[in-house]
Chain A
């Protein structure tokens, strides 16, 4: 069944929406505040500040690529992704700094300084930060409602808000570590923070929590087939889940429970970080499959094997199958084949979205692009973008990549004193 939840609409004319100007003003205010903080850092620790900005900006690149690639079939407009990132890095951070401090103080005042020392970071920070970040997805809805067509859109925007927050927070923490070290404008504390927050705890950080809360907003907005109370309940549950994941991560639980050493630290990271990671991966998979069924269903109505074959329809709905088809084309027709399959898949995805919008003018142009790529592939002797069998080289490459990732994590943990 084709679900209405993934039906896209036209791009909103941003400037005509009242919320846009309010959000613009908030971004400017947040930008001024964060520039003041960065300016203070740069005055006292110029080398460390520049190093931190460069390192964490580099770290943002793979995260950005992965997040923006999550929704292959119906890609989010770049301006909205930038807006989400900026909300996280400028507005959510500016608001969270005084609010988290106040929350921490209230825990000390109404509870005790001991409670604040142990649990302040787990209770105050997540409560404030998850709300401030989730509002970033809400403003995307307010500004460009037609662009939220599936739960997956909420996941992507939520993750992007979280990424912006994560990068800004990492830079502040890195330069804070330089100040705390009291050794002047040195970059060693920046490197240590980069290893700790970038590699060791980078995967299960704000990007993940933001994605979970964003999924709730996506559900609230698109699942009109469900009752309002249920949709609000799911959105609140997702926000609570983001808060709980964040609180568990920041909590002092298991700090002394598994002994010393890199292995013990790795076990703690996995125990505290894996549940939300698995939950989000399951959610993304579920939302992705649902969206893929909807769009591939539109392509199926064409019954034109020149535009898409039965086998290509199976491939288009799965990220791993699309990658496998590109690999197979690369093996049989070289770089040109891989490139042509990539272009064919992008054009097919675009056609699916256009068909769902019934925009016939754009459809003609996209059909022409597909035919051009089909002709290129025929010329290369690889006419169909089908997934190949799982090759031993791919399996070996996956194993080696996993081993290298664990080795990097191990080295980072050891360098930070875990071993």
Chain B
């Protein structure tokens, strides 16, 4: 039977070390990430910073998912969860009009395989006077709503997704929250 030489053994140990380090990065680190909860409770009625000076009052009972929340100086995002429903807001610099912003969001939604925009768009607004457009979309096993607002050199994109039953129950609260979107201009 062939014996393993010292050099081959060293080579095997080194190779095992490389594979173990890669496995640690590719699987270990995500496992550690999953071990910590991403959800944070929110105080009712207190506005949350979305980024670029945009704030929103989240729906009561919603939690903040910190993995989808990145409030930056010039752009940002916030992800709220109401049970199985996801309520996501994204803000970024934009120099076009509302129609263009809505068209781009629709393109991105339909760019995901299986996602389709449904029905026509309706005009919406916020308490603070931001004009927007909203519509609906379907995806495999779930449905959704989207809304876009443009103001102060920013586009604010809202996407809501969940199954029809949960959506029907939570949409009124989420739409009320969307109307509290506000741009204070501090991020510009």
Which of B25, B69, B103, B107 lies in contact with A128, CB distance below 8 A? B25
Residue in A128, A132, A142, A181 whose beta carbon sits within 8 Å of that of B14 in the complex: A142
Which among B15, B25, B67, B105 is the interface contact of A182 at CB below 8 angstroms?
A: B105
**CB proximity of B159 to chain A, nearest CB, Å:** 12
Q: Does B11 contact A (CB under 8 A)?
A: yes
In the assembled complex, which residues on chain A have CB atoms less than 8 Å from the CB atom of B103? 182
- Known contacts A17-B11, A117-B51, A142-B11; decide if A99 and B108 are in contact (CB<8 Å): no
A23 to B37, CA, bound (A): 35
B44 CB within 8 Å of chain A: no
- Given A26-B22, A98-B30, A110-B36: A184 in contact with B15 (beta carbons within 8 A): no
Contact A183 B104 (CB under 8 A): yes
For the complex, give the distance between the alpha carbons of A285 and B106 in Å.
53
Task: Across the interface, name the chain B residue whose C-beta is closest to A92.
Answer: B22
Given A98-B30, A182-B104, decide whether A18 and B12 contact each other with a Cβ distance below 8 A. Answer: yes
Please indicate the chain B residues that have their CB under 8 angstroms from the CB of A45 in the complex. Answer: 111
Range, interface on chain A: 35 or more
Contact B25 A131 (CB under 8 A): yes
Interface contact A132-B25, CB-CB below 8 Å: yes
Check B72 for interface membership: any CB of A closer than 8 A: yes
- Name the interface residues of B56-79: CB closer than 8 Å to any CB of A: 64, 66-67, 69-73, 76
Known contacts A98-B30, A108-B66, A179-B108; A132 and B12 CB within 8 A of each other: no
**Complex Cα spacing A94 to B19, Å:** 14
Most A-side CB within 10 Å, residue of B33, B37, B71, B104: B33
Provide the bound-state CA to CA distance between A99 and B29, in Å. 6
Known: A26-B19, A110-B36, A184-B107. A138 touches B25 (CB 8 A): no
* Interface-centre pick from B11, B36, B71 (highest chain A CB count, 10 A): B11
Residue of B nearest to A118 (CB): B72
A135 touching B22, Cβ below 8 Å: yes
Q: Does B8 sit at the interface, judged by CB under 8 A?
A: yes
Identify which of A95, A112, A120, A182 contacts B107 (C-beta below 8 A): A182
Q: B38 in the interface, Cβ–Cβ < 8 Å?
A: yes
Chain B CB within 8 A of A79 CB? no
Min CB distance A372 to B, Å, is: 40
The chain A residue with its CB closest to the CB of B107 is A182
A18 touches B70 (CB 8 A): no
Chain A positions within 8 Å of B72 at CB level: 117-118
Which of under 10, 10 to 19, 20 to 34, or 35 or more describes the interface residues of B? 35 or more
Residues from chain A with Cβ under 8 Å of B51 in the complex: 117
Using known A-B contacts A44-B111, A96-B25, A179-B111, determine if residue A106 contacts B104 with beta carbons closer than 8 Å.
no
Q: Mark A108-130, 1 if CB is under 8 A from B, else 0.
A: 11101110111010000000100
B141 interfacial by beta-carbon distance below 8 Å: no
Query: B18, B64, B103, B106 — which one has the most chain A CB atoms within 10 A of its CB?
Result: B18
Is B84 engaged at the interface, CB distance under 8 Å to the other chain?
no
Residue A54 lies at the interface, judged by CB distance under 8 Å to chain B? no
Q: A183 to B80, alpha carbons, bound, how many Å? A: 27
Residues of A with C-beta under 8 A to B70: 108, 113, 116-117, 120
Whether the Cβ atoms of B33 and A105 lie closer than 8 Å is yes
Question: Could you tell me the distance in whole angstroms from the C-beta of A135 to the nearest C-beta in chain B?
Answer: 5
Q: Which residue of chain A has the shortest Cβ distance to B102 in the bound complex?
A: A182
- Residues of B contacting A181 in the complex (Cβ-Cβ under 8 angstroms): 104
Q: Which residues of A contact B21 (CB under 8 A)?
A: 131, 135
Nearest CB of chain A from residue B186's CB, rounded to whole Å: 13
A18-B11 in contact (CB<8A): yes
CB-defined A-B contacts under 8 Å, sample of 23: A17-B11, A19-B12, A22-B19, A26-B19, A43-B113, A44-B111, A45-B111, A94-B26, A96-B25, A98-B30, A105-B38, A106-B32, A106-B36, A108-B66, A109-B33, A109-B37, A109-B67, A113-B64, A117-B72, A120-B70, A135-B18, A135-B21, A182-B106
